[in-house]
């Protein structure tokens, strides 16, 4: 697997000419979207005022019109950008993935399965809507790995009894398979309670999280500030979370600048990094020549693979149990 510096060289030497070509297409698409957007919004305003002039119009009807406007607008946007997005992924993302390691395969329209996502035990909410794309799988340094962007949502009713969908997780989801099977189930989550309410109340909330297994207190002060650990096996959790691994998790959290979740269930390690967006979607309203989401993703992936390698090295230690 190439280093980050080697991938940076590849990005500028091999992909930059392609980005320059795509930049011309992006500007044309941007102008077309702006024109269509103006026409569409003007038509909506005309329709809206026509409905408002009707005395019997209700608030619920106006809310329905607004959501219809947003939904149709999103459909139009996706339709206009579909071919350009596909071109960007085939000409930029696919070569970039292969540059990481030739054993990785890329499938733009697939994603990690819902069953695999739920088996991670990282999120306790029921999932009513699940999607994703940009699926990658392969074997790197003897480690089986697969990952993709995923978008998990749950359904809720609003005050007008309409269905609303709130986000459970949106970001990069990584699964690595090992020959080693963990005896227990261990999850590492962002420590939002302690950061929000302080040590005293935060610790109480963590200890009384009935949706989770037993709280595991780690002896790394910095790690405890950023993460909270739950497990069905206290001893195994401490074997897994060695000082070296906790240090790597802290580095990954710092460099990714996004919430990080990790679990050890069955024979798998799961890593979820919450970006709140699709990592691989090309920019439409910003220059592709300044586009660095792909390199941000590569750096995050390198750190994630570093964690997986650390676990691979620890298999001998775990086998003593």
Average pLDDT over residues 196-206: 48
242 pLDDT exceeds 60? yes
Starting at the edge strand found earlier in the chain, the sheet holding 268-273 runs 105-107, 129-140, 143-157, 163-177, 268-273, 260-265, 186-190, 227-231, 214-216
Which candidate, 124, 122, 266, 255, places its Cα nearest to that of 181? 266
User: How big is the chain by its Cα radius of gyration, in Å?
Assistant: 23
Which candidate, 258, 224, 259, 257, places its Cα nearest to that of 243? 224
pTM here is 0.83
Give residue 11's pLDDT: 82
Which candidate, 179, 104, 112, places its Cα nearest to that of 152? 112
Give residue 314's pLDDT: 59
Give the pLDDT band (50/70/90) at residue 205.
very low
Buried b (16+ CB within 10 A) or exposed e, 186-201: bbbbbbebbeeeeeee
Cα distance between residue 209 and residue 13, in whole Å: 51
47 pLDDT exceeds 80? yes
Give residue 209's pLDDT: 57
Average pLDDT over residues 124-130: 92
Give residue 202's pLDDT: 46
321 pLDDT exceeds 50? no
Range of the domain at 207: 4-318
Among 7-16, 76-85, 257-266, the range scoring the smallest mean pLDDT is 7-16
Could you tell me which residue, 299 or 18, shows the higher pLDDT? 18
Query: Dihedral sign, CA of 66, 67, 73, 76?
Result: negative
Give residue 291's pLDDT: 66
Q: Looking at the 3D structure of the chain, how many domains does it have? A: 1
Could you tell me which residue, 96 or 170, shows the higher pLDDT? 170
**Cα 41 to the center of its chain, rounded Å:** 31
Which candidate, 278, 298, 292, 279, places its Cα nearest to that of 19? 292
Share of the chain above pLDDT 70, in %: 87
270 pLDDT exceeds 70? yes
């Amino acid at each position: 697997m190439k280093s980050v510096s080697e991938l940076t060289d590849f990005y500028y030497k091999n992909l930059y000419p392609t980005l320059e070509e795509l930049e011309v297409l992006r500007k044309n698409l941007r102008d077309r979207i702006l024109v269509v957007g103006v026409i569409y919004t003007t038509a909506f305003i005309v329709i809206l005022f026509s409905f408002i002039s009707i005395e019997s119009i209700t608030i619920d009807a106006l809310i329905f019109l607004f959501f219809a406007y947003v939904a149709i607008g999103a459909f139009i946007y996706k339709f206009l950008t579909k071919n350009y997005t596909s071109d960007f992924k085939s000409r930029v993302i696919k070569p970039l993935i292969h540059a990481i390691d030739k054993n990785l395969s890329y499938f733009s329209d697939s994603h990690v399965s819902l069953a695999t996502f739920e088996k991670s035990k990282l999120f306790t909410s029921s999932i009513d809507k699940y999607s994703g794309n940009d699926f990658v799988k392969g074997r790197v340094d003897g480690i089986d790995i697969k990952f993709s962007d995923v978008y998990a949502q749950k359904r809720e009713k609003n005050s007008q009894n309409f269905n609303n969908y709130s986000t459970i997780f949106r970001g990069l989801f990584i699964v690595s398979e090992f020959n080693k099977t963990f005896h227990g189930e261990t999850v590492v989550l962002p420590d939002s309670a302690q950061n929000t309410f302080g040590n005293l109340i935060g610790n109480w909330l963590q200890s009384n999280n009935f949706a989770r297994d037993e709280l595991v207190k780690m002896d790394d002060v910095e790690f405890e500030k950023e993460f909270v650990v739950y497990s069905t096996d206290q001893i195994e959790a401490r074997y897994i979370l060695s000082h070296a691994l906790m240090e790597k998790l802290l580095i990954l959290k710092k460099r990714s600048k996004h919430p990080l979740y990790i679990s050890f269930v069955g024979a798998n390690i799961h890593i979820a990094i919450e970006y709140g967006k699709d990592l691989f979607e090309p920019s439409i309203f910003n220059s592709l020549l300044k586009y660095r989401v792909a390199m941000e993703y590569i750096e995050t992936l390198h750190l994630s693979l570093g964690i997986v390698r650390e676990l691979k090295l620890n298999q001998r230690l775990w086998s003593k149990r």
